Amino acid sequence: MSGTTMTRTDSVQPGSPMIKVDNLTKQFGDFVAVDGITFDVKKGEVFGLLGPNGAGKSTILRILSTLARPTKGTASIGGYDIVKEDTEVRKLIGIVSEKMIMYDRLTARENLWFFGSLFDIRSDILTPRIDELLELVKLTKWKNSQVGTFSTGMRQRMNVVRALLNMPQVLFLDEPTLGLDPQSSVEIREFIKRLNRERGTTIIVTTHTMVDADMLSDRIGIIDHGKVVALDTSDNLKKLVSGGNGTVLKLDISNLNPEVMGALEGLECVSSVSQDNSTHVRLIARGEDAFDNVIDAVRQKGGKIASIENQQPTLEDVFLHMTGHEVRDSADRKIPLPTRHRFGPAPRRVR
């Protein structure tokens, strides 16, 4: 018999639940932030939590990462209860919060050495691990450069790497592409997918960005007002809208006005309506006569239809269909605040 001690986590097989959440609830006074949610995340899965700000996504992550205690309900990670066995849970997890936790005047290597020392990692293990992780995110060239000189995308890659120093089996990512330019967002998404593919890391990612949820997640839980309103693969969620006799229509109405919008919203065949801009309307309709009914309603109010398209449903449509409002209704109010740990003049940025 070998001297290796088996842990409960070792017995979790790929495809079996690594994270279990049962009737989890969190209240702040009279406000219910998380409202009796139940779900599981399989070992090696990328699980997306999609919803607007205030939906409860970040609170769920704080509870699962042992930073907050639930009001009621239970959750476990790798077989360990997040409340009763929080010390064991912390050994298994890494968390990347919205705010970038880095010290600008320290170099990339110095930052990682500092955070690695907080995990009490032996220097003979930490030194090669830092080199390996910097290579993983293609920052070896800048290992001796101050983090304050990095672009936002480079800083976010450092932020993710910081959470990998203890080699976590479970990684929590809270809005990983928030505030990033398109190129940096692509780089972060590719890195997350590679991390999951090559290391088998179980990942929960919270986002209000449809692209992130669609491209990263094996399954997606849609969160609204603290509840899980839908949970499935992206393709299956979209079938909730397009299945049966449902259709997604996009209309370009040159003289769009409140009367036309009211007519569309009043149709029995229309389940949801959203206005993209001053002339474009997107709606979900059902029934064999839905197409004709929509056109008739617009024309009866004097609307001039420049074009009409039958489109494939998106996760935005799914969210709209399930909740009656758009993710961006709340998401647009979220403004990322940069974290700065700097004395003296700002260093010149690396691009």
Neighbours of 302 (CB within 10 A): 10
Beta-carbon contacts of 63 under 8 Å, excluding residues fewer than 6 positions away, are 24, 26, 34, 69, 70, 75, 82
- What mean pLDDT do residues 281-304 have? 90
Q: Which of 300, 244, 240 is nearest to 272 (CA)?
A: 240
Note the pLDDT of residue 201: 93
Going by pLDDT thresholds of 50, 70 and 90, the confidence category of residue 6 is low
pLDDT at 4: 55
Structure token digits, residue 256: 């769009």
Tokens 């692209």 locate to 211
Select from 221, 208, 246, 210 the least CA-distant residue to 330. Answer: 208
What is the rounded average pLDDT of the residues 130-148?
92
Q: CA–CA separation, 11 vs 9, rounded Å?
A: 5
Instruction: Find out whether 51 and 222 touch, Cβ atoms under 8 Å.
Output: yes
- The pLDDT score that the predictor gives to residue 2 is 47
Closest Cα to residue 324, out of 249, 265, 257? Answer: 265
Tally of residues, the chain? 351
**pLDDT one-digit tens code per residue, 11-35:** 778 778 999 999 999 999 999 999 9
What single-letter DSSP state applies at residue 146? B
pLDDT at 342: 39
Of the two residues 98 and 89, the one the predictor is more confident about is: 89
Cα(10)–Cα(5) distance, rounded to whole angstroms? 10
Burial 195-214 (b: 16+ CB within 10 A, else e): bbeeeebbbbbbbbbbebbb
Q: For residue 332, what pLDDT is reported?
A: 38
Q: Of 66 and 97, which is predicted with more confidence?
A: 66
What is the per-residue pLDDT for 313?
Answer: 83
Q: What is the pLDDT of residue 324?
A: 65
Q: Supply the pLDDT for residue 336.
A: 37
Over residues 327-342, mean pLDDT: 40
